[in-house]
Structure 1
Amino acid sequence: MLPNFELCCTEFLKYGIDDFDLEKYSKMNIYAEFLVEYNHKVNLTAITEPRDILVKHFIDSVVPLRFLSIQNEASIIDVGTGAGFPSVPIKIFRPDLKITLLDSLDKRITFLKLLCDKLDIEAEFVHGRAEDISKMTEYREKFDFSCARAVANLSTLSEYCLPFVNVGGSFISLKGPNEDISSAKGAIKLLGGELADVTDYEIDGEGRRLVQVKKVSQTPPKYPRNSAQIKKKPL
């Protein structure tokens, strides 16, 4: 399904990733094949060509590891994970990490359970909305990192994602190059966060912006609000 191993190695090396090996290739190839197969019955992705899956899903998910300092056995919740990006490819490269996959669509959670079984990957699967799950004691401020690769603006994503992160942890957002960072600073502060770093880079000629938000204090109990309030009156 994926391009051959040598070509994949070359693509990863373009982005400074030199620890791609046959084991990782095998897992990603299984991932790609199952993604395309399952996509016929559940809408998971519009990206189905082999090289596009390699670059726009796998490499896009893994390159941020170059710019992040993630301690061994850190816990990560992927909010609105969809087909498992970025956390499942990250887990392939960092098997020590503890990942939790959160999505509001049960059909996607079913796919992810089957996928992780095929890949022999341990993960926790949570079906629900972020604004509901983050109010639950077992998930609120329990993670070292939360991450999201989503189209919502940074203010909105911060309200969904920061409540999951413990003080001292970080929220990681994978955004496009034109993401307005400054307008989200007020919301980030209100939610107990602090803008730590913004990294701009390119994947296959397309701009990317990696935003790191440090959790410096507890999120006030009233956040996140329900989705209607978040949409109607962003922070």
Structure 2
Amino acid sequence: MEQLRKKAEILGISLTEQQCLQFQKYYEYLIEKNKVMNLTGITEKEEVIDKHFIDSLGLAAKMDLTKPLTVLDLGTGAGFPGIPLKIAFPNLTITLLDSLNKRIKFLDEVIDLLGLTGIETIHGRAEDYAKPGKLREQFDLCVSRAVANLSSLSEYCIPYVKEGGYFIPYKSGNIDEELKKAGHAIGMLGGKVESVEEFQIPGTDIERTFVKIKKRKATPKRFPRKAGMPSKDPL
């Protein structure tokens, strides 16, 4: 975990021995459970540290995460970026949402194993929990590493964000064209692109782009549309 500690330091994050131990346990349990269920195609320790742990923490180089923020990790999968962010920033109150129940069970086991508090899991579809009376406009920040075009991802995520809060997707590669196409959708949903922040994982050539979308006004009630529509027919 020395590699993790040093790279986190470059991002301005000082990990304690306890936090490094939590990352170690997370890695070991991820690899153990990955033998019986599909959680990640990345299993080499150094790669997990770079492509999952440090990648998840990269947001800290572009945004102040030391405040007591409420955070939704939508389509969290094996817990990225939500669990690494929670380990490094215990002040965050995090909700992990995923549509696959077996992944949620895995995440519950990880939370228990690491002794994390102020973090919960929800099994369900993004479209369902964004409805009024559920989790709509409840979060200071929504993050997602889910692989989806920005128009679709915005329709899934922006309804969860409070006015004045942010939706920040973790994107890869050149996103100029994708961002241009998503502009209309982001505006319709009540958001505005504030900045586009590029990040390179220390010691690698792996690049990540964070799109900082600020929620300027309430999302119209008709969004998100019914299950499957945001992906099938992007705004």
TM-score (norm 2): 0.93
**Aligned counterparts of 2:46 and 2:60: Cα–Cα separation in 1:** 21
**1:18 positional shift:** 4.5
**Aligned counterparts of 2:4 and 2:91: Cα–Cα separation in 1:** 23
2:151 alignment partner, one of 151, 155, 160: 155
Aligned match of 2:128: 132
Deviates more, 1:223-232 or 1:101-110: 223-232
Aligned match of 1:50: 45
SS in 1 for 2:163: strand
**1:12 positional shift:** 3.0
Aligned match of 1:188: 186
**1:70 positional shift:** 3.7
Per-residue displacement from partner, 1:42-74 (whole Å, max 9, x unpaired)? 211001111011111000000111101346221
Aligned match of 2:205: 205
Per-residue displacement from partner, 1:10-63 (whole Å, max 9, x unpaired)? 3334x4335123111100000000000011122110011110111110000001
Aligned match of 2:63: 68
**Aligned counterparts of 1:232 and 1:9: Cα–Cα separation in 2:** 41
Say if 1:54 and 1:188 are closer, same or farther in 2 by CA, change over 3 A. Answer: same
Percentage of matched positions with identical amino acids: 42
**Aligned counterparts of 2:83 and 2:11: Cα–Cα separation in 1:** 20
The one-letter code matched in structure 2 to 1:157 is L
Gaps of 5+ in 1: none
Aligned match of 2:163: 167
Once the two structures are superposed, the pairs formed by residues 45-124 of structure 1 within 5 Å of their partners are 45-70=40-65, 72-122=67-117, 123-124=119-120
Per-residue displacement from partner, 1:60-95 (whole Å, max 9, x unpaired)? 000111101346221001000001100110011110
The 8 Å contact of residues 140 and 166 in structure 2, kept in 1 or not, is answered as: yes
**1:158 positional shift:** 0.3
Gaps of 5+ in 2: none
Count of aligned residue pairs for this structure pair = 230
Deviates more, 1:161-170 or 1:201-210: 201-210
**Aligned counterparts of 1:93 and 1:50: Cα–Cα separation in 2:** 18
**How well do the aligned residues superpose, as a CA RMSD in angstroms?**
1.4
**1:230 positional shift:** 1.9
2:15 alignment partner, one of 20, 24, 37: 20
Answer yes or no: is 1:226 the counterpart of 2:214.
no
**Aligned counterparts of 2:141 and 2:81: Cα–Cα separation in 1:** 13
The one-letter code matched in structure 2 to 1:80 is G
TM-score (norm 1): 0.93
The 8 Å contact of residues 105 and 127 in structure 1, kept in 2 or not, is answered as: yes
